[in-house]
Homo-oligomer: A and B are copies of this chain.
């Protein structure tokens, strides 16, 4: 079991359930960043887990090569939808049209979109929205999560923020429609009063001219790694996804290997650790994730070893 889990880092996504009810029908992409699923499991919103890592009661939205790893809204009603673009783990991005479909769905079904934009800084294609709020109508149906972990390299300092507009409403058990903003405010003021003060000053510095410049250099560095690694995957005869507007490269395993078999092979043959796709859900099986978060030296070394992978 422990082997099937991918380690997670801080995300305000983990706390949003504190202000939402227990009876919501929840949709999650598959594969998916595990926090969305795990926090629902921990809150008792799901049934038992299956052998493939999926849980009863959740509506999984398969993300596959066929849909470019961007799921369409389901036919049936759901109350909550987790979306993350650029995506962890697949590195996929959603177009304006695709996000518009989701906003239209949410407005029609009175659903709430929980949009994780942690990797927005990695988008280079000017056509790709950086925020769900670039789509008209999203202010009434979406909450957006932002992180400093990935742009400022702030992993481990526990700082992020959540955009809850004053126009996003939710329904109480007896049918009243109320704004979520005061509930979220109350949740934070009662349980923690927010982010550590010295850390907030660090986050503030990211918005200075010098801070913006440093962030840009850091992003360019990681995206340089992503290009090196993606090219090496191609040279190794494997099929990569993502890695262009996202720091993750999602790769199909060769020879029908499971993702953990591929993990073992990469470890033994190349002495390189990758993340097995099965840790991100049932649809992650048969894939693995390569992360661009590393030094250039390490990325180059891994790229070279990848080219030597025995086919």
A positions within 8 Å CB-CB of B: 7-10, 14-15, 18, 34-35, 38-39, 42, 156-159, 186-187, 189-199
Contact = CB atoms under 8 A, between A and B. Distances in A.
B157 A198 contact: yes
Given A34-B190, A35-B191, A157-B197, 18 more contacts: A7-B189, A8-B189, A8-B190, A10-B193, A14-B191, A14-B192, A15-B191, A35-B190, A39-B190, A39-B191, A42-B190, A156-B193, A158-B196, A159-B196, A196-B199, A198-B198, A198-B199, A199-B199
Given A35-B190, A187-B42, A190-B42, A197 B14 contact: no
A172 to B, nearest CB: 12
Contacts of A35: 190-191
Task: List 4 A-B pairs, minimum CB-CB distance, nearest first.
Answer: A14-B191, A158-B196, A156-B197, A157-B196
Given A189-B8, A190-B14, A196 B156 contact: yes
Given A42-B186, A42-B187, A158-B158, A10 B192 contact: yes
26 contacts: A7-B189, A8-B190, A8-B193, A9-B193, A10-B193, A14-B190, A14-B192, A15-B191, A34-B190, A35-B190, A35-B191, A38-B190, A42-B186, A42-B190, A156-B197, A157-B197, A157-B198, A158-B158, A158-B193, A158-B194, A158-B196, A159-B196, A196-B196, A198-B198, A198-B199, A199-B199
Residue in A14, A39, A158, A189 with the greatest tally of chain B CB atoms within 10 Å: A158
A8 to B, nearest CB: 6
A192 B158 contact: yes
Contacts of A10: 191-193
